[in-house]
Chains A and B, each alone.
Chain A
Amino acid sequence: MSSPQLVLPALLVVTLVAQALRPGWRLLIVTAGAALSCAVATLTGTASTTALFADVPWDVIVMLVALGLMSQIFVATRVFGMLAVASARRSGGRPRTLVVLFALVMYGVSGLVNNLTALLLVLPVLLILLRLMAVSQRYVSWTLGIVLVACNLGGAATPIGDFPAILLLGRGSMTFPGYLTAAAPPTLLALLLILAVLALVRPERTVQQSAVARRLSLAVVAALYRNTRLDWRLFGPISALMLAMLVAWMVVPAQRMGPELICWLGVGLALALRPRAGEQLLRSRVDVEAVLFLLSLFVMVAAVRRSGLFEQLIRGLEGLPIGAGGQLLVFLLLAGVLTGLFSAGPSMAALLDVAESLAQRVPPTAVYVGLALSVCAGSSLLLTAATSGPMAQILVERAELRDPEGARLHFGFLDFLPVGLLCFAVIQTVALAYALAVLVLA
């Protein structure tokens, strides 16, 4: 191994570990790591900074920004908040029905908007209901845990739901309809399996609630959201535009017009519908943190790639004394664990080169969808593995949930851990089974 092959990956790993340990300094750490990677790559003659920036998939960043803005426009229509309120009413305040309905709603919503936005839209309604119901710690941990995992699964179900799928779409690894038809069924299956296991765990056993109390809770929710109305004048055109974008993603060949351009044009039009609000969104709601974080990661991964380490890793994987199918399963398992430790963005960015090599020897769908599912499994392992986890933790702390005795309820790392371990096992198993099934059928 050459010295850049040692120093650049070490720098990447140290940066990832440091940002995982100190999430409050995450942006500072990764941007500094990227700058150091550029310096090392330049000084060792591995690649110039210009070359590293040329390797950045800008189309993916354009899609991330544009879809984030589209999410904000949907927020303004209030459609998802109303959906959450309808679910609360539909549940009748019954604890078991509540978790199932909110998991399904979160799955659907996060398939269309990014995970953080989905959480911010749906969780407040659930949290107010949990406050009114005065539930137990066990019920809170399982309910919020399952909803969070449903958010990850929904994000993995569609090509526009979360970063890993957007990356696959942006890099041309998979087409829009190809990914949607391949990924949606296994993610939904994983969610149904998790809900089936939840029926055995029965966290609702610890909730003592009379029929009168349930009725009161629902009456209060109805009063709290008494005048929340759908903004039809915005929702109509935005839905039509979104539908047009979906159709274009499905029918226009990527060689003729890439998915990022369709996204850019569609979101541009959506913003132009209300120019003043659109300008305001562009100026204040672009997720600069996500852009800087991913840009820094892409630069660091590009530096490692230029050092030739990924080729060595691929050769190492190919050198395993097992068939290509076995190599794929090892790779997927590794992807799940690495994501659990380093989160989805870094893992996906680093592992895609290896995935592309594997996709030349086994059916690409098995590799890419298996990878997206494994990354989703890893994101669901620990509360810190996905950005939505700490966000959920903050929202729960702010909600000041209490049990019937008035003791404060929490949703921290250890509260989530049993849910995370179970969901990781289920989703990772589905990922491996899916890859195996595609291999067998091929």
Chain B
Amino acid sequence: MSQLGPGLEQAFHVAAGELGMCSAAWLFVRELGKDGDALVAELRDVLGRSYPVLDAVATCWLEGRRAASIDVSAVSAACAGASQLLAIGLETSFLDALLPRLEGVAVWLLTQSAFSVDWDRVLANYQGRVRGVDLASFQRLAGRRSTLLVMTYGRRGELTFTSPEWLRVVGSDVRTQFRAVVGWDVLDAPMQVYPRWLVEAPCADFSQYVGAP
């Protein structure tokens, strides 16, 4: 903790809430990595157990990977034909990269999180391109040309991990109201510690799953 300072956990918690756990983790390892891998290793030791996505990203960094793998081609192909897209789970680096490939698609973000989030600030970055919708009213977006895009974190056999909001959205009634339910593995690496903040979801719940097999 000596080099990183005492407020590190709080700083990561804030960033994870408003950027997404994976986007925040890559931001942190990139910044600390400028001073050498030792700081990234220290970050993993200090915060890894509390934030498993950060743990996995720091491990990737220490193994030599220097950036998140953001392949939007497969996701945009999975979303083809949709006129409305509702993103479940916030991952800003990934959503920012995907948006240019979604021309003509109205994009919505579920404004629900286990973290404390200033949604006005989050959405202001999209300048109207992405609009917020809450749990009470997301079903008005349902339709035969509407797609759900769910951010997921790693894969273990037939299971993946995602944010708890997914449990509040998914249901046998909801699934049939949407054209497709696309899962996007933004972590693209296995998690080594207990998946705190996340819930298990069968990959079979998604009509298409984009990520490593």
Q: A-side interface residues toward B, CB under 8 Å?
A: 78, 81, 124, 128, 131-135, 208-210, 212-213, 215-217, 219-220, 223-229, 400, 402, 404-406
Is residue B63 within 8 Å, beta carbon to beta carbon, of the partner chain? no
Q: Could you list some 9 contacts between A and B, CB below 8 A?
A: A132-B7, A132-B14, A135-B7, A208-B6, A213-B11, A223-B19, A223-B23, A224-B18, A226-B125
Q: Is A227 a contact partner of B121 (Cβ separation < 8 A)?
A: no
List the A residue with the shortest CB-CB distance to B126.
A227
Chain B nearest CB, measured from A81 CB (Å)? 8
Q: Is A134 a contact partner of B3 (Cβ separation < 8 A)?
A: no
List, in ascending order, chain A residues with CB within 8 A of B76's CB. none
Report how far A30 CA is from B20 CA in the complex, Å.
Answer: 46
Q: Is B118 a contact partner of A124 (Cβ separation < 8 A)?
A: yes
Chain A nearest CB, measured from B35 CB (Å)? 6
Which of B9, B10, B31, B121 is the one whose CB lies under 8 Å from A219? B31
Q: Is A212 a contact partner of B10 (Cβ separation < 8 A)?
A: no
List, in ascending order, chain B residues with CB within 8 A of A133's CB. 7, 11
Which of B18, B32, B125 is the one whose CB lies under 8 Å from A212? B32
List the B residue with the shortest CB-CB distance to A78.
B124
Q: Is B125 a contact partner of A124 (Cβ separation < 8 A)?
A: no
Q: Is A134 a contact partner of B125 (Cβ separation < 8 A)?
A: no
Which of B3, B10, B19, B125 is the one whose CB lies under 8 Å from A131? B10
Is residue B4 within 8 Å, beta carbon to beta carbon, of the partner chain? yes
Chain A nearest CB, measured from B57 CB (Å)? 15
- Identify whether the interface residues of B are mostly helix, strand, loop, or mixed: helix
Q: Known interface pairs A134-B11, A220-B14. Does A212 touch B5 (Cβ–Cβ under 8 Å)? A: yes
Q: Is B11 a contact partner of A132 (Cβ separation < 8 A)?
A: yes
Report how far A440 CA is from B9 CA in the complex, Å.
Answer: 58
Report how far A227 CA is from B122 CA in the complex, Å.
Answer: 10
Return the 3 tightest CB-CB contacts between A and B, nearest first: A134-B7, A404-B6, A213-B5
Interface residues on B, range: 20 to 34
Is residue B28 within 8 Å, beta carbon to beta carbon, of the partner chain? yes
Q: Is A228 a contact partner of B32 (Cβ separation < 8 A)?
A: no
Chain A nearest CB, measured from B130 CB (Å)? 10
Report how far A208 CA is from B6 CA in the complex, Å.
Answer: 7
Q: Is B6 a contact partner of A225 (Cβ separation < 8 A)?
A: no
List, in ascending order, chain B residues with CB within 8 A of A402's CB. 10
Is residue B73 within 8 Å, beta carbon to beta carbon, of the partner chain? no
Docked complex: B1-47 residues within 8 A CB-CB of A: 3-11, 14-15, 18-19, 23-24, 27-28, 31-32, 35, 39
Report how far A400 CA is from B115 CA in the complex, Å.
Answer: 11
Q: Known interface pairs A128-B14, A131-B14. Does A223 touch B8 (Cβ–Cβ under 8 Å)? A: no
Report how far A229 CA is from B127 CA in the complex, Å.
Answer: 8
Is residue B208 within 8 Å, beta carbon to beta carbon, of the partner chain? no
Q: Is A208 a contact partner of B5 (Cβ separation < 8 A)?
A: yes
List, in ascending order, chain B residues with CB within 8 A of A216's CB. 8, 11, 28, 31-32
List, in ascending order, chain A residues with CB within 8 A of B15's CB. 132, 220, 223-224
Report how far A225 CA is from B127 CA in the complex, Å.
Answer: 11
Q: Is A220 a contact partner of B124 (Cβ separation < 8 A)?
A: no
Report how far A131 CA is from B17 CA in the complex, Å.
Answer: 12
Report how far A134 CA is from B125 CA in the complex, Å.
Answer: 25
List the B residue with the shortest CB-CB distance to A402.
B10
Report how far A311 CA is from B32 CA in the complex, Å.
Answer: 70
List the A residue with the shortest CB-CB distance to B6.
A404
Is residue B116 within 8 Å, beta carbon to beta carbon, of the partner chain? yes
List the A residue with the shortest CB-CB distance to B18.
A224
List, in ascending order, chain A residues with CB within 8 A of B31's CB. 212, 215-216, 219
Report how far A212 CA is from B105 CA in the complex, Å.
Answer: 40
Q: Is B11 a contact partner of A227 (Cβ separation < 8 A)?
A: no
Is residue B92 within 8 Å, beta carbon to beta carbon, of the partner chain? yes
List, in ascending order, chain B residues with CB within 8 A of A226's CB. 92, 96, 125
Report how far A223 CA is from B12 CA in the complex, Å.
Answer: 13
Q: Is A223 a contact partner of B92 (Cβ separation < 8 A)?
A: yes
List the B residue with the shortest CB-CB distance to A231.
B127
List, in ascending order, chain B residues with CB within 8 A of A128's CB. 14, 118, 121
Chain B nearest CB, measured from A122 CB (Å)? 13
Chain B nearest CB, measured from A235 CB (Å)? 14
List the A residue with the shortest CB-CB distance to B19.
A223
List the A residue with the shortest CB-CB distance to B23.
A223
